[in-house]
Amino acid sequence: MPNGAFCCNGRTYRAPQRPTLAICVDGTAPAYLEDALARQLMPNLAGALDGGAEMLIARAQVPTVTNVNNMSIVTGVSAAVHGISGNHYLAPDGHETQLTDPSALRAETILAAAARAGIGVLAVSAKDKLRALLGAGGVPSISAERAHEQTVGGLDGMMGTEIVGRGNPGIYDPALSAYALDLALAIAPRVRARLVYCSLTDFVQHKAPPGHELVDGYCVALDERVGWALADGWIVGMVADHGMNAKTTMDGSPNVRYLADILDAAGVVGARVLLPITDPYVVHHGALGSIAFVYVSSSEIARAGAALAGVSGIEAVLHRAPAARVFELPEDRIGDLVVCADAATVLGLRATQHDLTGVRNGLRSHGGLHEQDVPLVVCHPLLRGDSRELRNADLFDLLLNFTA
């Protein structure tokens, strides 16, 4: 292996030739960047593209939710290998559990493998829910959400907010993503990190379509920070964990199919519906996304599958084994049925179980098959002759192995 190179999950990565920043632009469907570029709101990104960089389209892992795809990006492999099948899953003990504990991760992260090879690494997330997973394998990790009470080794106990020099915005503040990048760029040189992952939050994308002033502010702030990093000699790349689509009816209300109610009406006994998008941040999406897992006994599965497949807005109902194969998911961490909605529909439990207060004025969400296309930009010309289909899990490969 070349000097400083390291292996992770079957791929070899070169050591960073320069400080390298991989950004997860959470929930940023390609249209967000395309629109901002067309209206000249991102001059640094535009400059990189003029200089030979490319805006590529990559595929995200299904379920197209945050934890699953952040883990694909940082491990370089599918959920079948890394084991994170949702933000949330049904644990073997029968309890629904957030998939946020590093013990749930079945593959090493690229950051952890780099650290083992002696490379300084750092993981920053906007949302604290991701911090522990990104910190798997001893990777120094900190979140913007809790930066007032978190630090990493090498900062002499100073909190993240002290390093940035200003207080951190709240979890529902559109400025939190920019703050996460500020945290990454401020801490990295102090702790000699040369490989840095920074995962943003999709609050803005949940609340607004491309072209909205909230989005414009987000894109301008993102571009500014990309510009600062490039000016400081960083290699910079970004990819989204998933896209984002409007999920509303003609009158603007959330377009929901309540699966437990549908199964009850069909006389299915003992079924349990689990929504992999479920996380603590209900204002984003009200726990409503375009995929669901249904747990149901073998005697009821045919009736359940038929009832769900006949519902408008549901476009696929797969049994466990084919779903695991097609979507590259861990078979033991998905439902007996995997239910996929169309682009404009979300799936819920029962009408009585969802608080729609936070999404009454329009629901934008993700989780399903129609949020798989994501933008992938490496801000430098790529030394790449092949035209393989890219995944968001290829970001580190392109950053480390295909830049000059």
Minimal distance in Å, beta carbon 208 to Zn ion? 15
Residue closest to Zn ion when measured from CB atoms: 66
Based on CB atoms, which residue is closest to Zn ion, 66 or 245?
A: 66
Give the C-alpha separation, 163 to 260, whole Å.
48
Give the C-alpha separation, 338 to 320, whole Å.
7
Exposure letters 330-350 (e unless 16+ CB within 10 A, then b)? beebbbbbbbbbbeebbbbbe
User: Which of 202, 223, 300, 394 touches Zn ion (CB under 5 A)?
Assistant: 202
User: Which of 11, 13, 15, 26 touches Zn ion (CB under 5 A)?
Assistant: 26
Give the C-alpha separation, 181 to 196, whole Å.
10
Packed helices 43-50 and 213-231: angle between N→C axes, nearest 10 degrees: 60
CA angle 4, 8, 12 (to 5 degrees): 55
Minimal distance in Å, beta carbon 396 to Zn ion? 18
Based on CB atoms, which residue is closest to Zn ion, 180 or 400?
A: 180
* DSSP character at residue 245: E
Check residue 371 for interaction with Zn ion (CB under 5 A): no
Based on CB atoms, which residue is closest to Zn ion, 27 or 276?
A: 27
Minimal distance in Å, beta carbon 198 to Zn ion? 14
Minimal distance in Å, beta carbon 328 to Zn ion? 18
Based on CB atoms, which residue is closest to Zn ion, 182 or 279?
A: 279
Span from 33-41, 241-249, 267-275, 381-389 in contact with Zn ion (CB under 5 A): 241-249
For residues 390 and 58, is the Cβ–Cβ distance under 8 A? yes
Span from 142-150, 195-203, 207-215, 327-335 in contact with Zn ion (CB under 5 A): 195-203
Whether cis (ω within 30° of 0) applies to the bond prior to 169 is no
Span from 20-28, 48-56, 144-152, 370-378 in contact with Zn ion (CB under 5 A): 20-28
For residues 42 and 52, is the Cβ–Cβ distance under 8 A? no
Give the C-alpha separation, 395 to 260, whole Å.
38
Span from 65-73, 252-260, 299-307, 369-377 in contact with Zn ion (CB under 5 A): 65-73
Based on CB atoms, which residue is closest to Zn ion, 241 or 397?
A: 241
* Six token digits for residue 111: 């950051």
Span from 142-150, 155-163, 196-204, 267-275 in contact with Zn ion (CB under 5 A): 196-204
Minimal distance in Å, beta carbon 27 to Zn ion? 5
Check residue 241 for interaction with Zn ion (CB under 5 A): yes
Based on CB atoms, which residue is closest to Zn ion, 26 or 397?
A: 26
Minimal distance in Å, beta carbon 202 to Zn ion? 5
Based on CB atoms, which residue is closest to Zn ion, 202 or 342?
A: 202
For residues 239 and 58, is the Cβ–Cβ distance under 8 A? yes
Based on CB atoms, which residue is closest to Zn ion, 307 or 341?
A: 341
User: Which of 20, 28, 66, 78 touches Zn ion (CB under 5 A)?
Assistant: 66
Give the C-alpha separation, 17 to 195, whole Å.
10
Strand (E) positions, 129-185? 141-143
CA dihedral (44, 49, 52, 54) in degrees, to 10, reads 130
Based on CB atoms, which residue is closest to Zn ion, 108 or 241?
A: 241
Span from 43-51, 58-66, 171-179, 323-331 in contact with Zn ion (CB under 5 A): 58-66
Based on CB atoms, which residue is closest to Zn ion, 7 or 283?
A: 283
Of the candidates 20, 19, 17, 37, which has an alpha carbon nearest to the alpha carbon of residue 28?
37
Span from 24-32, 56-64, 84-92, 383-391 in contact with Zn ion (CB under 5 A): 24-32
Give the C-alpha separation, 37 to 28, whole Å.
13
Exposure letters 364-374 (e unless 16+ CB within 10 A, then b)? bbbbbbbbbbb
Minimal distance in Å, beta carbon 251 to Zn ion? 27
Give the C-alpha separation, 170 to 132, whole Å.
19
For residues 309 and 326, is the Cβ–Cβ distance under 8 A? no
Minimal distance in Å, beta carbon 242 to Zn ion? 5
Minimal distance in Å, beta carbon 365 to Zn ion? 10
Total residues binding Zn ion (CB under 5 A): 5
Span from 103-111, 173-181, 202-210, 262-270 in contact with Zn ion (CB under 5 A): 202-210
Of the candidates 65, 24, 58, which has an alpha carbon nearest to the alpha carbon of residue 367?
65
Based on CB atoms, which residue is closest to Zn ion, 115 or 288?
A: 288
CB under 8 Å to 130, separation ≥6 — which residues?
Answer: 66, 67, 70, 100, 143, 199
Residues of the shown chain interacting with Zn ion in the complex, contacts defined by CB under 5 A: 26-27, 66, 202, 241
